[in-house]
Amino acid sequence: MRLPIYQIDAFADRVFAGNPAAVVPLEEWLPDATLQAIAAENNLSETAFFIRHGEKYALRWFTPAVEVDLCGHATLASAYVVFRFLAPERRRVAFETRKSGTLVVWRQGEELAMDFPAWVPERCEAPSGFAVALGRNPSDVLAARAYLAVYERESDIAAIKPDFAMLKRLDRAVIVSAPGTDGIDFVSRFFAPGVGIDEDPVTGGAHCQLIPYWAKRLGKTRLAARQISPRGGALSCALAGERVTIAGRAQLYLEGRITI
């Protein structure tokens, strides 16, 4: 069996930046074990698979280790493949997911914009060893789907060198964030060793809880964000009630076929 595959750099204005995702369009679902094996072979933070359902697409995401409930950058990458290769006449595309509802992506100038759920983080007690695992004490700790450790300066975020073995023992992933500079409202990094991703280059899903937090703290609903991983990426963000809009650019790196 030969399957099409695309590798897209999401939230990137050039190749070799942003977060790379593999996208594999299918005619029908393959066994879960096969999907997981393909994702492991790709060895990227996420591989997206989708099949067409009428005017919508059913979408799933796999890390090299597990299937996940939501992935922003691989959704952006999937929409890019639909718009560029499969249905270039379309301006919007809807993806049906198993646990995150229907996710809509549309063209917004040179960016692709995604409508995602807002996850409002609540202040919580830091897990045992949390500050040690991150190498420095945060000024605040909150949680929703992930822990959110807030720091005072962008330089604090850049300097963090996590103990991934310690973070892997936590019950959820970890976001670290601080106010940005030079027109950027906030910066962040994202660590998820528990699902096989020590540091994710740019994480759309993390912004589902970053946007509500920073919108409230800064008193504004439109925000410019940057994830300051080694690859880095830029996101245009907005809060709209119980939903968030996350937008960014995408770049084609690879187009080919895999044989299984």
Annotated active-site positions, please? 46
52, two tokens: 């067409």
Residues 113, 96: Cα–Cα separation, whole Å: 16
Partners of 260 in the beta sheet? none
Q: Residue 7 in contact with residue 22, Cβ under 8 Å?
A: yes
DSSP string, 188-248: EEEEEGGGTEEEESS-TTTHHHHHHHHHHHHT-SEEEEEE-SSS-EEEEEEEETTEEEEEE
Phi-psi label, residue 245: left if phi above 0, alpha if psi -120 to 50, beta otherwise: beta
Q: Please answer whether residues 211 and 246 qualify as being in contact, where contact means their C-beta atoms are separated by less than 8 angstroms.
A: yes
User: Residue 16 region, left (φ>0) first, then alpha (ψ -120 to 50), else beta?
Assistant: left
